[in-house]
Chain A
Amino acid sequence: MAVKPLADTEFYKKQTRLALRNCGVIDPESIEEYFAVDGYQALAKALTQLTPEQVIQIMKDSGLRGRGGGGFPTGLKWSFTAANAADQKYVVCNADEGDPGAFMDRSVLEGDPHAIVEAMAICGYCTGATAGYIYVRAEYPIAVKRLEIAIDAAKKHQLLGKNIFGSGFDFELYIRLGAGAFVCGEETALMTSIEGNRGEPRPRPPYPAVKGLFGKPTTENNVETFANVPQIILHGAEPFAAMGTEKSKGSKVFALGGNINNTGLVEIPMGTRLREIIEEIGGGIPNGRKFKAVQTGGPSGGCIPTEHLDIEIDYDNLSAIGCMIGSGGMIVMDDSKCMVDIARFFLDFTVDESCGKCSPCRIGTKRMLEILDKIIAGNGTLEDVDKLEELAYHVKENSLCGLGQTAPNPVLATLRFFRHEYIAHVTEHKCPAGVCKALLSYNIDPEKCIGCTLCARVCPTGAINGTVKQPHVIDHDKCIKCGACETACKKVHAVYKA
């Protein structure tokens, strides 16, 4: 039969689904279907056949690193918490997926919630924690509902609660909803929020492994990190460690979006070339436009330009060029995007989301935004560009938490790869991509204009003059650059930006 299976499409051919293995396969609201795909076998194996030390050793050998952005080795993190004696310890799952453009955690929670329940119990067993909290964004109601169903079902089957698998290990799991604060994705801020406070970060040290949630030793991992755990325990460290690059093992899920033909969730082995993701899996750039950059890591990351398209994706390669994998958002941009405008977009986001606790982030990002606004308005100077860069380094080095330390990244990365665009804004007062409204003007090509009057009729300020069948002219004093004329002139494309 000629029907092409999903697995043979360009989009899927190069993917390897580990974290997403059950997403789109099983019914997430049925614990039986999870059983059918070896669900809770890893927990049973850990509790009945392995010591906590052996479980941690498997995690270390697998080479799994934190998928939330930091890339810290998971096994090592677990061993720190395990080493601290305390009357109570906690496991926390960070499901406060706040990076705009990233939705893999939501997909795992909606598609395979039991994997997270199982992984958190395993983590509790080997670190000595008897309670866990999942902190989920309130914007993800379906994920919350499916997690609740999963936890109830696990309790009913005695996979949560007292004396699990007769091993003497007790574990309870609770859900906490976020309330829309990006900074709560930072681990200490998230714990402060679970405790019922403003979600402000805390200085480290003490690290959460020593003094975390409610002042007790705590292990915090992101959803995707946990999603990898059950199969690592079940199949051993080797299959996972065999995949990927020397220092980044396994696979990573990316949320591919923006100006690209195939949008969606993509899970690829670490070390895959960026070009393969964009051109093969993503199917290239639509509308006949050209690739300009791919933004990774959201407001904490940077932009990767054409010259680095052949980079092999892993934690270290990306940080070497001033970018980061981050949580895995991958927004493709075509040549109609202005990189100064994009930097401003992210900075506007971090200024809005800065919690205000430390001054480098609170004041520094605000000043950076003001400089960017000045450049975009056409009033910037070369000196402003230098000042922006200097300030960016100060904010990066002196902020209290990950939000402030990474907030300047979008500016630094665009300055690094697209400095010429900044220069064009301040010296020629031109926006090369034609995005920054203050720096462009709308004009009508008299050669192309057929005098149909469509543009004059849609112009909200009456800035277009001309008689029927004669070329029209835009009065730049009246024009508010709304672009309505350009949209209206779709027959002959006589309106253009310059």
Chain B
Amino acid sequence: MTTLAELNAARDAAAAKMKQTDDGQPITRVVVGLATCGIAAGAKPVLEAFEQAAQAAGLSSVRVYQTGCIGMCQFEPIAEITVPGQEKVTYVNMTAGRAKEVVEKHLAGGQVIEEYTVGAVTK
């Protein structure tokens, strides 16, 4: 990469890749906070559970990523889900079991599990 034009092209391609799959479906983005605090609180099994459950449910437009510190240490592990066209949902105190449940009810069924969201545990 040696020119600004190439960088711009890389940006646009990357932004598009974050929005839709290769065959044009809009992507549902799941990110799990995998900084030191998150990992210490058990975020790795949560990440794996999301990946496995999404695959098992055949949700081909769901992409699961790790990310850095989301900031609320005492609610780790934290996972955030962005369904295209909808407000981002933040799930807190996640476990592998809860991740599976979220995939089934929220990602597959379209029903947010409110009691696991940040709004349920904080003001």
Chain A interface residues toward B at CB < 8 A: 1-6, 8-12, 20, 22-30, 32-33, 35-36, 38-41, 44-45, 48, 103, 106-108, 110-112, 140, 142, 157-159, 163, 165-166, 257, 262-266, 283
Contact B69–A32 (Cβ < 8 Å): no
User: Would you call B67 an interface residue if the criterion is a C-beta within 8 Å of the partner chain's C-beta atoms?
Assistant: yes
Task: Enumerate the 7 nearest inter-chain pairs by beta-carbon distance, A residue then B residue, closest first.
Answer: A111-B68, A4-B119, A24-B70, A36-B14, A32-B14, A107-B69, A23-B68
Report yes or no: A158 in contact with B2, Cβ–Cβ below 8 A. Answer: yes
- Among B68, B89, B112, the one with the most A-chain Cβ atoms within 10 Å of its Cβ is B68
Q: Is the CB of A36 within 8 A of B69?
A: no
List of A residues within 8 angstroms of B1 by Cβ: 157-159, 165
**Contact status B117-A3, CB under 8 Å:** yes
Question: 12 A-B Cβ contacts within 8 A?
Answer: A9-B122, A24-B67, A24-B70, A26-B67, A32-B10, A32-B14, A35-B10, A36-B17, A36-B18, A110-B36, A111-B69, A263-B74
CA distance A11 to B118 in the complex (A): 10
Chain B contact patch, size range: 35 or more
CB–CB A265/B87 < 8 A:
no
Query: What residues of A have a CB within 8 angstroms of the CB of B15 in the complex?
Result: 35-36
Chain B residues contacting A157 (CB-CB under 8 Å) are 1, 10
B118–A9 CB distance below 8 A: yes
Contacting residues of chain B (66-123) with chain A, CB-CB under 8 angstroms: 66-74, 78, 80, 87-90, 112, 114, 117-119, 122-123
Please pick, from B2, B14, B68, B114, the residue contacting A112 in the complex, using a CB distance under 8 A: B68
C-alpha gap A4/B123 in the complex (Å): 9
Q: Which residue of B lies closest to A1 (CB)?
A: B112
Is residue B39 within 8 Å, beta carbon to beta carbon, of the partner chain?
yes
B31 within 8 A of A: yes
**Looking at chain B's contact residues, is the secondary structure mostly helix, strand, loop, or mixed?**
mixed
Complex contacts, B14 vs chain A, CB 8 Å: 32-33, 35-36
B53 CB-CB contact with A under 8 Å: no
Alpha-carbon gap, A166 to B114, bound state (A): 52
Q: Which residues from A are CB-within-8-Å of B35? A: 23, 106-107, 110-111, 142
Q: Which residue of chain B has the shortest Cβ distance to A107 in the bound complex? A: B69
Knowing A3-B119, A35-B14, A110-B69, the reply to whether A24 touches B33 (Cβ < 8 A) is: yes
For B70, the closest partner residue in chain A by CB is A24
**A108 to B71 alpha-carbon distance, docked (Å):** 11
Contact check, A24 vs B73: say whether CB atoms are below 8 A apart: no
**Docked complex Cα distance between A26 and B18 (Å):** 10
> In the complex, how many angstroms separate the beta carbon of A327 from the nearest chain B beta carbon?
16
How far is it, in angstroms, between the C-alpha of A103 and the C-alpha of B38 when the chains are bound? 13
Neighbour of B67 across the interface among A5, A111, A165, CB < 8 A: A111
B7 touching A44 by the CB < 8 A rule? yes
- With A5-B88, A24-B31 known as contacts, the answer to whether A110 contacts B7 (CB < 8 A) is no
Q: Which residues of B contact A142 (CB under 8 A)?
A: 35-36, 39
In Å, the complex CA distance between A57 and B78 comes to 40
| With contact pairs A39-B11, A165-B3 given, residues A1 and B72 touching in the complex (Cβ less than 8 Å) | no
A27, B65: Cβ atoms under 8 Å? yes
Residue of A nearest to B19 (CB): A36
- Interfacial chain A residues near B114, Cβ < 8 Å: 2-3
When C-beta atoms are compared, the residue in chain B nearest to A20 turns out to be B71
A112 to B69: give the CA distance in the assembly, Å: 10
Report yes or no: A41 in contact with B67, Cβ–Cβ below 8 A. no
Q: Which residue of A lies closest to B16 (CB)?
A: A36
Which A residues are in CB contact (< 8 Å) with B39? 142
A263–B68 touching, CB < 8 Å? no
Q: Are A106 and B122 in touch, CB under 8 angstroms?
A: no
Set A24, A45, A48: member contacting B71, Cβ < 8 A: A24
Instruction: Add 16 more A-B contacts to A103-B36, A158-B1, A257-B73 (CB < 8 A).
Output: A4-B119, A9-B118, A9-B123, A11-B72, A23-B68, A24-B31, A24-B71, A24-B78, A25-B31, A35-B13, A36-B15, A41-B11, A45-B4, A108-B68, A262-B122, A263-B73
